Amino acid sequence: MNTDKHIPNIKQQGLYSPEFEHDACGVGMVANIKGNKSHDIIFRGLDALCHLGHRGASGADPETGDGAGIICQIPHDFFKQQSLSENISLPNSGDYGVGMVFIPQNDSISTDEYKTTILNSIEQENFELIWWREVPVDPTKIGSAANIVRPHIVQFFVTKRQQNLNQSLDLSLYILRKNIEKQVSSSKLNSDDFYICSLSSSTIVYKGLLVPEQVSDFFIDLNDQAFQSSFALVHSRFSTNTLGSWKLAHPYRFVVHNGEINTVKGNINWMLSRENAFQSNQFGDDLDKIKPITIHGQSDTAALDNALELLLATGRSIEHSMMMLVPEAWGDHINMSPEKRSFYDYHSSMMEPWDGPALVVGTDGKKVCAVLDRNGLRPCRYLVTKDDLLIMGSETGVIEVPPEDVLFKERIYPGRMFLLDTESGKIINDAELKSSVSKQQPYGKWLEENRISIDNLKNSKDLLIEPKSTFINRQNTFGYTLEEL
Catalytic residue positions, numbered: 25
Burial bucket for residue 275 (CB in 10 Å: 0-12, 13-18, 19+): middle
Is beta strand 406-411 parallel, antiparallel or unpaired with respect to 389-393? unpaired
Adjacent-strand bridge partners of 426: 421
Adjacent-strand bridge partners of 361: 256, 370
Residue ranges of the alpha helices (H) in 186-299? 215-218, 264-274
Distances (CA, A) of 305 to 72, 361, 364, 462: 16, 11, 12, 48
Cα 140 from Cα 485, distance rounded (Å): 67
Cα 388 from Cα 211, distance rounded (Å): 29
* b/e 344-356 (16+ beta carbons within 10 angstroms → b): bbbbeeebbbbbb
Do residues 10 and 243 make contact, with C-beta atoms less than 8 angstroms apart? yes
Using alpha carbons, select from 343, 350, 342 the residue that is nearest to residue 267. Answer: 350
Upper half-sphere CA count for residue 371 (Cβ side, 13 Å): 26
DSSP 389: E
* b/e 318-335 (16+ beta carbons within 10 angstroms → b): bbbbbbbbbbbebeeeee
Cα 19 from Cα 262, distance rounded (Å): 10
Burial bucket for residue 218 (CB in 10 Å: 0-12, 13-18, 19+): buried
Q: Cβ of 410: how many Cβ atoms within 10 Å?
A: 14
